[in-house]
Amino acid sequence: MSSSQMISEHIQRIAAYKSENPAEDIERQLGIPIVQLGMNENPFGPSPKAVRAARAYLEKIAPYPDDSAYLLRQRLASHYKISMDEIIVSAGSSDVLALHSPEAEVLTGEASFIVYYQLAEILNMPLVRTPMKGYAFDLEAMVEGITARTRLVVLANPNNPTGTIIHRAELDKFMNRIPDHVLVVLDEAYFEYVSDSRYPNSLDYVRAGRPVLVLRTFSKVFGLAGLRIGYGISTAEIVAALYKVRMAFNTNSVAQIAALAAWDDREHVQKSVETNRLELEFLYRELSERHVGYIPSQANFILVELRKPVREVTSALLKQGVIVRPAWGCPACMRVSVGTREQNQAFLAALDKAL
């Protein structure tokens, strides 16, 4: 039997995912320092306390990690005033889409986090995309798109790559129309950066026993993307189901220890959030002076509208050592992570040449 006969047809059709323009590769090719503004990372890095905690724990990595992430779940539960049974710690969001059946459909928007589309494809789940409205989710259209086969509705809030948010009033209206057979996944990877007072408190839905799964991460404002650790919050019943389908020991012990220390360093988090806001305002001013369009963001990146083909501009920036990304689902836009002032100035200088 050939390998093509052994491998499922739908897997053979999938294009392999590759991280676009890895900084180390570009530095080797160009021989110049790289400004990485394509991954929405915290440009200030992790909390020094998290680094020290991780380093101190390295002598204890022979045993398998705590499979339940007890200490981290305990800390999170205490902060959010919920039960530990309502929290699952994970290395990513892929476990979520494992809650499916062969006839299930996933519903999301046309321009959102690329991993949603990739995971649905990997699991051979039909994915329905509704058009965006003003670079934001059109919740009215999404409700109309729900069918008897819909099992998951996935909403990033703030949305990646647009930086827009769903307001509390519109989410309440949307949730009141969700049928019982649908689980709403609220991906809040960037929620710490949100300054809009109309942003919903998604945990209110969990406390009310609604069919919601809230996803949050230590990869963004906490600066631990390299350790791959995040968490989900939902009803005890849904979390128990997630534990059945996730891989055992799926978060390493160093990541758990670093996450605990990062969580406790609120000063580092606040500094990261405040500096991100200042640098966003700086980018707004500079882009406006250049008559370059952008979408105001509630995250740590900005969607930039172009009057040229996106790849032409991102390639020109790359040759100057600045990495940004074409925005998934937004053909005339690129997504630019908010960096330090020095990084943002380097981006603007490179953009002047590219345009």
Q: Quick check: 279 and 338 in contact, CB under 8 A?
A: yes
Q: What is the pLDDT of residues 213-235, one digit of tens each?
A: 999 999 999 999 999 999 999 99
Lowest-confidence range among 110-114, 158-162, 275-279? 110-114
Strands (E), the chain: 35-36, 87-90, 105-109, 127-130, 150-156, 183-187, 212-217, 230-233, 293-295, 301-305, 322-323, 325-326, 333-337
Global confidence as pTM:
0.93
- Give the confidence band of 81 by pLDDT, cuts at 50, 70, 90: very high
Ranges of each domain in the chain: 19-46+267-354, 48-264
Q: Quick check: 6 and 188 in contact, CB under 8 A?
A: no
* Mean pLDDT taken over the chain: 91
- Give the confidence band of 8 by pLDDT, cuts at 50, 70, 90: low
Q: What is the mean pLDDT of residues 320-346?
A: 96
Token representation of residue 45: 């890095």
Q: What is the mean pLDDT of residues 243-259?
A: 93
Say yes or no to pLDDT of 32 above 80.
Answer: no
What phi and psi values does residue 126 have, to the nearest 5 degrees? -60, 130
pLDDT at position 117, please?
A: 81
Which one has a higher pLDDT value, 66 or 24? 66
The SS3 assignment for 215 reads strand
Instruction: State the Cα–Cα distance between residues 80 and 100, nearest whole angstrom.
Output: 28
Say yes or no to pLDDT of 290 above 70.
Answer: yes
- Give the confidence band of 63 by pLDDT, cuts at 50, 70, 90: very high
Q: Cβ of 272: how many Cβ atoms within 10 Å?
A: 23
CATH number assigned to the domain with residue range 48-264, chosen from the 4 options 3.40.640.10, 3.30.390.50, 3.40.50.10800, 3.90.1150.10: 3.40.640.10
Residue 167 contacts by C-beta under 8 Å, 6 or more apart in sequence? 196, 198, 199, 200
Instruction: State the Cα–Cα distance between residues 253 and 63, nearest whole angstrom.
Output: 9
Domain 19-46+267-354 has CATH 2.130.10.30: no
Largest CA distance in the chain: 63
pLDDT at position 121, please?
A: 79
Q: What is the mean pLDDT of residues 282-310?
A: 97
pLDDT at position 116, please?
A: 83
Which one has a higher pLDDT value, 32 or 269? 269
